[in-house]
Amino acid sequence: MVQIEELEQQVKALAEEGRERLEQAGSLEECEAVRVALLGRKGKITELFQLLPQLPPEARPEAGKLINTLKDQFQEALEQRLAALKAETIERRLQEEAVDVTLPGRPVALGRLHPSTQVLREIYRIFSGMGFQVFESPEIETDEHNFQLLNIPPDHPARDMWSTFYLVEPGLLLRTHTSPGQIHVMRKFAPEPIRAILPGKCYRYEQVTARSEMMFHQVEGLAIGRKITMADLKGVLTEFAHQMFGEGRRFRFRASYFPFTEPSLEMDMDCILCGGRGCRVCKHTGWVEILGAGMVHPQVLRNGGYDPQEFTGFAFGMGPERILMLKYNIDDIRLFFANDLRFLEQFSGGPR
């Protein structure tokens, strides 16, 4: 037999235990452990109910009430504790994850123009000041425009000057230079005079080295008119070079050969690195080549729709990457298209 007083003791003790353990429970999981310990199938409160049959029958209703009250109170305390813990968790997360809206924002990295684009725009600026317009011409060309109409028939040894990517489609190729644009622009404007520059990408089937890329830019220039002479060529190119490289530089024109100009020449500048005394960059000559040029060949004028008895003209071709390399003493052309930001970000000038 169990006496009611004994049970009352146990109820009191369990009420106390429940309160203390809930207070100490620091997490939802710990609360759940306390619940199982008291109200689970083998929990201490659950087990109290099993004592009921051992009480004197007249004490049982009173005892049942006591245990039920204990159970209800524990459950209520458990819910309160759970609610408090949830609120605490939310509060803690709010504090931990708080955003300090007063902190300055992270700067957004600004893009800028590729150095080739920057120098191209500089070239446009200089030539537009001398009345040249920009004319675009295709990168995929016919053999006819890239070679034949420029006095380079099939099997002509001059084709060796341009290692060529041929397309699968017969007669098509990636232009090896911007000179085929001369034919396009002449056929568009003949018999009007022309002053145009033709920028764009060119492709050569070559071993990629510090000095040669498979893809690079060129800017072609073409002036056609009555009474245009080599003096005009020299004047325009010298003015360009002074604006591009600075007033102090010296230039020279040297005889050369291109099938589509006659006479042909190359323009050199005194070596920026050694000031003309001779170094590794200029191969100890004191001079570096900056572009190829010449008077438009009469046959090319005819191919473009001009009568060489009436019209003459000059043409030139330069490489913007080469200009940058000379200007900033860059010794590897591959840097331009390797997309290494450490290189590209050094060219911060120029319009965005």
Compare residues 47 and 239 and give the one whose CB is closer to ligand PHE.
Answer: 239
Segment interacting with ligand PHE, rule: CB under 6 A, options 2-10, 17-25, 78-86, 311-319: 311-319
Render the burial of 268-283: b for 16+ CB within 10 Å, e for the rest. Answer: bbbbbeeebeeeeebe
Query: Least distance in Å: CB of 220 to ligand PHE?
Result: 6
- Measured between alpha carbons, how far apart are the two ends of the chain, in Å? 96
- Give the residue, chosen from 132, 147, 311, 316, that forms a contact with ligand PHE under the rule CB under 6 A: 316
Counting contacts by CB under 6 A, is residue 132 touching ligand PHE? no
197-236 residues in contact with ligand PHE (CB under 6 A) are 220
Which of 94, 75, 122 minimizes the C-alpha distance to 246? 122
Two structure tokens written together for 118: 């920057």
Segment interacting with ligand PHE, rule: CB under 6 A, options 75-83, 189-197, 312-320, 339-347: 312-320
Query: Least distance in Å: CB of 202 to ligand PHE?
Result: 7
Q: Are 120 and 319 in contact (CB under 8 A)?
A: no
- Give the residue, chosen from 116, 317, 321, 333, that forms a contact with ligand PHE under the rule CB under 6 A: 317
Compare residues 200 and 317 and give the one whose CB is closer to ligand PHE.
Answer: 317
Total residues at interface with ligand PHE (CB under 6 A): 11
Query: Least distance in Å: CB of 349 to ligand PHE?
Result: 27
Query: Least distance in Å: CB of 352 to ligand PHE?
Result: 31
Query: Least distance in Å: CB of 232 to ligand PHE?
Result: 14
Query: Least distance in Å: CB of 261 to ligand PHE?
Result: 5
Query: Least distance in Å: CB of 260 to ligand PHE?
Result: 6
Query: Least distance in Å: CB of 282 to ligand PHE?
Result: 20
Compare residues 56 and 138 and give the one whose CB is closer to ligand PHE.
Answer: 138
Q: Which residue's CB atom is positioned nearest to ligand PHE?
A: 317
Two structure tokens written together for 299: 């046959």
Counting contacts by CB under 6 A, is residue 151 touching ligand PHE? no
Counting contacts by CB under 6 A, is residue 179 touching ligand PHE? yes
248-307 residues in contact with ligand PHE (CB under 6 A) are 258, 261, 292-294
Which of 143, 22, 155, 37 minimizes the C-alpha distance to 83? 22
Compare residues 258 and 336 and give the one whose CB is closer to ligand PHE.
Answer: 258
Which of 236, 133, 135, 112 minimizes the C-alpha distance to 181? 135
> Which residues lie near ligand PHE (CB under 6 A)?
177, 179, 220, 258, 261, 292-294, 315-317
